[in-house]
Structure 1
Amino acid sequence: MTAIGAPRERAPKLPRAFWALWVCQLVNRLGSFVQPFLVLYLTQDRHLSPGTAGAVAAAVGAGSVVSQLVGGWLSDRIGRRRTMLIGFLGTAAALILLGSAGSLEMIAVTAFTVGLLGDLFRPAVQATVADLLDPRERVRAYGLLFWAINLGFSVSTVSAGVLASVGYSLLFWINAATSVVAALVIWRMVPETRPVLDEGPRRSLLPVALRDTTFVLMILIQIGYATIYFQGYSTLPLAMAADGLPSATYGLVIALNGVVIVVVQPFVGRRLAAFDRPRLLAGSMLLVGLGFGIGAVVHSWWGYGLSVVVWTIGEIGFAAVIGAVFADLAPVDLRGGYLGLAGSMSFGLGSVIGPLIGTNALEHLGATATWLACAVLGVVLFLAQLGMSPALHARANAAGERDPDFRRVEA
């Protein structure tokens, strides 16, 4: 049997349905105007206090944590295609309601709904890619989706600022329109790919997942990774401010993250597919930890810029391979649920734990200790991930053999 992740002389063409998903990711991110500017809209246009605006933004985050879990469960129960359509069309409606909500209670409810529906499509997209492609092609495919997300987001953050000067309501309507366009692409070009058992009822997700020791350990490792990663959006701006650097400088430095991804990822995507997946994942997490660790010895804009570039390179490797690794771990009949649970637990919890730990460490221990702790955690995750390699290789080899035992639902 050919080893998973072995180099190929010529990469095969990806199917039309994959490129439709790629377009959806790009269009969806091109119109992602509301969330980055939500706090400004609430404080400047609706005249809410910063604390209240922050609570509303937290409601969006709370919805997002639940969203991927629900999206994964739905994609296994009612199908990938229906889940994506519900997510995109529901998000469009929720955005319009949020933009027109009058009372604070309605704003909070619609904000949570935007978060709940906004990420519903993610596990369905990841599961569809795993359904469509040979395990050896998934790294390249997930890397291309990651690139589309960052390309769209890079453009949207610039254009949103211009549109906001015209009126915040325009952001809500255009964001909703792009969600509708994404739904139309899914409706016209993406077939249903959900595998179904030839016989017997579907299993429940949690009893299977919680007994899967390899899967649970991988989630714990990814929570550690997310804890480091989210320092870039919580602790980093505070550390730069403490060094006397203005907020505009932080904006330019963190923009390097998107620039590096957009420029570098297309050239390394196929090469990353040739690497051993567990080792690439381990090395990527180490690089992210060491990248943040650079913050312990720098105090200038270019030093922090170097830090961002280093951990972004690690992020590229991580993002390309992590979806493929979890797809290999997932039972075919629970693929959507596994991917949704992985996303919800890993980055959902990491997005809460990371900022809390990082900002408190910065306040009580100082910047040097905080950034050194990120580097140490990166080393720990590197060693833990390497220790998982035998189990991941065994599951990857099994993943290449089990799909013939299932049949696909016709479009």
Structure 2
Amino acid sequence: MSAVAVGSPASTALPRAFWALWVCQLVNRLGSFVQPFLVLYLTHDRHLSAGTAGAVAAAVGAGTVAAQLVGGLLADRVGRRLTMLICFFGTGAALVLLGSAREMVMIWIAAFLVGLLGDLFRPAVQATVADLLQPNERVRAYGLLFWAINLGFSVSTVSAGVLASIGYGLLFWLNAATSVIAGVVIWTMVPETRPVLDEGTPRRPLLGVVLRDTVFLFMILIQIGYATIYFQGYSTLPLAMAADGLRSETYGLVIALNGVVIVLLQPFLGRWLVKLDRPKLLAASMLVVGLGFGLGAVVHGWWGYGLSVVVWTIGEIGFAAVIGAVFADLAPIDLRGRYMGLSGMAFGIGTVIGPLAGTNALQHLGATVTWIGCGVLGVLIFIGQYALAPALHARALANAATA
């Protein structure tokens, strides 16, 4: 089989198509106005109960999880470029539908479509980067995409509050417009990169390959464990801070450090991260995230929680920069999109398990035990990930030889 390959091992310039993806990610996140304010819109403008509004938001989440499998399948079957075009143009239409829906059935359908179509691009983008770039260039590239996402989202969350004061309807139209703009960027600047199977090569079923791929299955379990820890920052942390007598505004300022640290540090750390061993860097990053949350066991003031956020954010930077590259090295080339989709689905499962496990542990076992549990889980997934390093290196060499 053949694939698009740009650059040599000594290359430092990333291709034009990658920078188009970077711009696309930035524009898409700059317009991410709806999701942070969806519950407020549904309760204030549509006069739904808090429970119903939360359930609609959960429908978006369900669509997001499904999108990882569907997006990975489409990326491998119909192509990366077409999958991204379906995502961005379809999301624009789904957002307009959600903003104009009045009947509950239509609101449910539109919410699910926003989640489904809105996240189709993730496996396709991850696979496109792997198609475009040599293995030694991927850590830098994934890190830059991570930075663009956080830069755009940091700006959008601030501006969305101002726009919402004018009217929630404006959020839907502007969010839809940025999705369309992102689609136009893909249409005009990103070529199809899906590897072409040699004539006569049969398409392999995903399930049969995955069930025999024990390294990948262990990686999926580790990914779920990491996401379980990470999403304590958006579920258990605000409750723990409230129990320590800190106001919700304080939580907002503390969690905002996450975006600030990423925007300020990632461009500088990214240049250093590319020099490190990927599987071992991934293991160390997970450990830092776990220990960062573990600090919650010994802090009670805003400054202590702020320090915890800074620590686990540094681990998050390392994780985000390298996780895509590790899965790209691991995935069979003909199943790259679907492997990326399963990786994203594993993270989505963690977003469900994390809040449930953390909030229940906080309620029944207390904050100290909960945060120590995060630290212990961080150590366990570090050990597991570090132990997989030799197998991941071997798989990367085998895939490089057959590319």
Fold in common (TM above 0.5): yes
Whether contact under 8 Å (1:296, 1:369) holds in the other structure is yes
Q: Deviations over 1:343-365 (max 9, x none)?
A: 11x21110000000000000000
- In 2, the alpha carbon distance for the partners of 1:375 and 1:383 equals 13
Write the mapping of 1:38-77 to structure 2, written as runs, cut at 5 A. 38-77=38-77
Q: Deviations over 1:156-202 (max 9, x none)?
A: 00000000000000000000000000000000000000002112232
**Counterpart amino acid of residue 238 in structure 1:** L
Whether contact under 8 Å (1:96, 1:173) holds in the other structure is yes
Give the 3 Å change call, closer, same or farther, for CA 9–96 of structure 1 in structure 2.
closer
Q: Specify the alignment match of 1:99 in structure 2.
A: 99
Q: Specify the alignment match of 1:264 in structure 2.
A: 265
Q: Specify the alignment match of 2:5 in structure 1.
A: none
Q: Specify the alignment match of 2:245 in structure 1.
A: 244
- In 1, the alpha carbon distance for the partners of 2:188 and 2:202 equals 30
Residue 13 of structure 1 aligns to a residue in which SS?
coil
Residue 196 of structure 1 aligns to a residue in which SS?
coil
Q: Specify the alignment match of 2:275 in structure 1.
A: 274
- In 1, the alpha carbon distance for the partners of 2:211 and 2:118 equals 26
**Correspondence 1:374 to 2:374:** yes
Whether contact under 8 Å (2:9, 2:136) holds in the other structure is no
Cα drift, residue 101 of structure 1: 0.2
- In 2, the alpha carbon distance for the partners of 1:378 and 1:290 equals 7
Give the 3 Å change call, closer, same or farther, for CA 259–107 of structure 1 in structure 2.
same
Range 142-151 or range 104-113, more displaced: 104-113
- In 1, the alpha carbon distance for the partners of 2:211 and 2:95 equals 35
Cα drift, residue 401 of structure 1: 1.7
Q: Specify the alignment match of 2:230 in structure 1.
A: 229
Write the mapping of 1:275-354 to structure 2, written as runs, cut at 5 A. 275-344=276-345, 346-354=346-354
- In 2, the alpha carbon distance for the partners of 1:399 and 1:36 equals 40
- In 1, the alpha carbon distance for the partners of 2:392 and 2:274 equals 16
Residue 203 of structure 1 aligns to a residue in which SS?
coil
Cα drift, residue 311 of structure 1: 0.1
Q: Specify the alignment match of 1:392 in structure 2.
A: 392
Whether contact under 8 Å (1:135, 1:399) holds in the other structure is no
Provide TM-score, normalisation by structure 2: 0.97
- In 1, the alpha carbon distance for the partners of 2:164 and 2:57 equals 18
Cα drift, residue 399 of structure 1: 2.5
Q: Specify the alignment match of 2:4 in structure 1.
A: none
Q: How many residues are aligned here?
A: 395
- In 2, the alpha carbon distance for the partners of 1:363 and 1:306 equals 24
Write the mapping of 1:178-193 to structure 2, written as runs, cut at 5 A. 178-193=178-193
Cα drift, residue 268 of structure 1: 1.2
Provide TM-score, normalisation by structure 1: 0.95
Q: Deviations over 1:321-344 (max 9, x none)?
A: 000000011111110011011111
- In 1, the alpha carbon distance for the partners of 2:299 and 2:316 equals 21
Cα drift, residue 400 of structure 1: 2.1
Q: Specify the alignment match of 1:89 in structure 2.
A: 89
Cα drift, residue 209 of structure 1: 1.4
Could you say what the CA RMSD is over the residues aligned between the two structures, in angstroms? 1.1
Whether contact under 8 Å (1:288, 1:312) holds in the other structure is yes
Unaligned residue ranges in structure 1 (runs of 5+): 1-7, 404-411
Q: Specify the alignment match of 1:143 in structure 2.
A: 143
**Counterpart amino acid of residue 64 in structure 1:** T
- In 2, the alpha carbon distance for the partners of 1:216 and 1:183 equals 33
Q: Specify the alignment match of 2:3 in structure 1.
A: none
Q: Specify the alignment match of 1:211 in structure 2.
A: 212
**Counterpart amino acid of residue 295 in structure 2:** I
Cα drift, residue 125 of structure 1: 0.4
**Counterpart amino acid of residue 256 in structure 1:** L
Whether contact under 8 Å (2:9, 2:134) holds in the other structure is no
Cα drift, residue 376 of structure 1: 0.5
Q: Specify the alignment match of 1:255 in structure 2.
A: 256
**Counterpart amino acid of residue 323 in structure 1:** G
- In 2, the alpha carbon distance for the partners of 1:119 and 1:360 equals 29
Q: Specify the alignment match of 1:363 in structure 2.
A: 363
Cα drift, residue 276 of structure 1: 0.5
Q: Specify the alignment match of 2:110 in structure 1.
A: 110
Cα drift, residue 63 of structure 1: 0.4
- In 1, the alpha carbon distance for the partners of 2:284 and 2:76 equals 32
Write the mapping of 1:167-178 to structure 2, written as runs, cut at 5 A. 167-178=167-178
Give the 3 Å change call, closer, same or farther, for CA 9–16 of structure 1 in structure 2.
closer
Runs of 4+ in structure 1 displaced over 4 angstroms?
8-11
Cα drift, residue 9 of structure 1: 10
**Counterpart amino acid of residue 160 in structure 2:** A
Q: Specify the alignment match of 1:408 in structure 2.
A: none
**Counterpart amino acid of residue 260 in structure 1:** V
Cα drift, residue 11 of structure 1: 5.3
**Counterpart amino acid of residue 384 in structure 2:** A
Cα drift, residue 16 of structure 1: 0.1
- In 2, the alpha carbon distance for the partners of 1:126 and 1:86 equals 16
